[in-house]
Amino acid sequence: MKSSIAALLVLSTSILTSGMPVAEPTFGHAKSKASQLEDVWEHSKSPFKFTSVFKVVATPDQVVNGTTPVPGQEGAVGYFNFGFNSEQDVVCYNITLYGVTGAYQSPAITATHIHSAAKGASGSPRIAFPNPVPVDGNLDGCAARVSIGCLSAPFVTGLNSSGIDTGSASGFTIKQLEDNPSAYMADVHTTMFSLGAVRGQLA
């Protein structure tokens, strides 16, 4: 859900310097840890100022091929937390997957994306995120994978349409997403579920 109030997020120094996802070695009790991450996302002080924040719950029943529903990975769920700054074309992300198994697969440079796609439709990826990596911990017996970090434009997906990358080169900006969030979704692809293991609309 979009927030009209600027939000703040703390990320580790290693994330800021490397731009790569960093997973803590141990989650302990997953539900307790998820609550801690939620507190960090909502309440901590940091130098980051977001023009919008979205919390997306991605599930297997939202996956489609074109406009036809197709099965995602049963029992899996993804929590995609995004903080956007449209003035600087920056996105910070905290992505946690539960029950997503097997290797990632996508013709893009990674298998974890934001696509321009309305509910019930397919569309091109606009941002490719580092794939979540396994961490200790689980939710109802489902193993966890996590990716945390920030990306700034130009966004590159590695997929071309008419010879042009579908990221920033196509004209995509964070401002476009903020102006029409219901036209965008987040998902992750695996070898067993190439069309999407889980998917969720930004709004």
Q: What is the mean pLDDT of the chain?
A: 83
Q: Which residue has the higher pLDDT, 73 or 35?
A: 73
Cβ(187)–Cβ(200) below 8 Å: yes
Tens digits of per-residue pLDDT, 112-126?
A: 999 999 999 999 999
Query: Model pTM greater than 0.75?
Result: yes
What ranges do the domains of the chain cover?
13-201
The amino acid at residue 66 is G
Residue 46: how many CB atoms within 10 A of its CB?
15
What is the Cα–Cα distance from 83 to 172, expressed in whole angstroms?
Answer: 17
- According to the model, what pLDDT value does residue 81 have? 97
